[in-house]
A and B are shown apart, each in its own frame.
Chain A
């Protein structure tokens, strides 16, 4: 079997999939409010109960991860805010890379490339927006001034549209894009088994690959 390197440790993978499950439940029960014809299935508030259960998991799961291993979590969060000149290189190469599959055009990428970082940053920022606005709408519905609740609905929906659309991009670029096939060597494998082939690591995250192969023990996040 081809040599493999570890990309995501088990707690990270578990958090990813728990959060995925919660987000999809929240996404679908929220989408009902955008489609009046689906109002029929939202009768008697039951989609809103599922939405609340999803919200609890959405909030608690990252919190548990953070409390279990604060160092790794903070390191991971910092990664989302590290932006530099390199990202411009990715941006310039992205059209050639993603449309024409020109892998030569892409400069070597670190642990997370710019696109992944953007999605990760959105997850953090909009995740916070979701939690905060949702919390107010849930517990202060009866007492908060109407004007405040209107803003909460507005921000909650804006975050929904931004992350909802990006979710499709995320799924597509992780498992459907031709450069991500076969799935068992790349991103899919990294989130399911935690490992990617050395070949994949070299071609997709060369900078990161060099870093982890420099030291004798291969570390990962």
Chain B
């Protein structure tokens, strides 16, 4: 199957956060609103952003940024969720195979297999995976955007779009074949550049082997709070591709070496003891 993707056009987004709500509703991620004795407690964080961060029950969050561009204040919106990388650090380090690439190229998740080790969170270049962790026992289960493929709630297998895309009123989110969306994104970026946005970019085309969430941005990625040239942490590569194979080699060689030693030494001991016994 050809790779699928989501295209997020930041210049069309109105930050209504309908996608956030649709994501929570479809994936049954109710979040308890903190209550006080007087009723609902509201917190002013100096922004329309809410909730404050991704969480095990918030897989998608819209970020608002106020930046100065050409001497004017500009209000920029960024979609924050799993980027579904091709070179996914989380898939690389997941020890139980709970995280894997599905046939669409997305980073799929078998939650049953998650042991709660948290390596995915430690190594994700976008800081996306979240879990509730018991600090004493270490019991945890990771959660992140699975693009509406949770068993029983699987939209994609039924031929539907992800809930966030379906609900987006200004059609700032599109779902489809990745190649087509890359072409569409490039066209939009060209149009933006022709309109005076000289730094307009398509983010995600080549980052980490190609993200499966593409961004049409009116400015540079860092203006939108996205990492420029994200990388799989070198430690993930060193650990998975060097240390672990080395571990198997060292362990295997040790056991084989000891076996060889046993055979040689036993022979030697027998032939050494033989003449002594004869003399007796």
Residues of A within 8 A of B (CB): 32-34, 36-40, 42-45, 47-49, 52, 98-102, 138-139, 141-142, 146-147, 149-151, 153-154, 157-158, 160-162, 164-166, 168-169, 172, 176-179
Contacts and interface: CB of A to CB of B under 8 A. Distances in A.
B239 A40 contact: no
B73 interface: no
Contacts of B176: none
Contacts of A48: 115-117, 137-139
Interface in B109-139: 112-119, 121-123, 127, 133, 135, 137-139
B243 interface: yes
Nearest to A53: B137
Contacts, number: 138
Contact of A157 (B97, B239, B258): B239
Interface of A, secondary structure class, is: helix
Interface of B: 95-98, 112-119, 121-123, 127, 133, 135, 137-140, 233, 235-236, 238-239, 243-244, 246-248, 250-251, 254-255, 258, 261-262, 264-266, 268-269, 272
Contacts of A38: 96
A36 B99 CA distance: 11
A116 to B, nearest CB: 16
B46 to A, nearest CB: 23
27 contacts: A34-B244, A36-B97, A39-B95, A39-B98, A43-B96, A43-B115, A45-B115, A48-B137, A48-B139, A52-B138, A98-B265, A100-B268, A101-B265, A101-B268, A146-B122, A150-B233, A150-B236, A151-B235, A153-B235, A153-B239, A154-B243, A157-B244, A161-B250, A161-B251, A164-B247, A169-B254, A176-B258
Contacts of B247: 34, 157, 160-161, 164
A168 B112 CA distance: 33
B251 A32 contact: no
B95 A49 contact: no
Contacts of A138: 138
Given A39-B95, A98-B261, A99-B261, A49 B113 contact: no
A147 to B, nearest CB: 8
B95 A32 contact: yes
Contact of B258 (A32, A42, A141, A169): A169
Q: Considering the complex of A and B, which 7 residue pairs feature the smallest CB-CB distances, nearest first?
A: A39-B96, A33-B95, A161-B247, A150-B235, A42-B115, A45-B139, A178-B269
Contact of B113 (A33, A43, A161, A164): A43
A172 B255 CA distance: 9
B96 A42 contact: yes
A48 B131 CA distance: 15
B113 A178 contact: no
Contact of A45 (B137, B235, B246, B254): B137
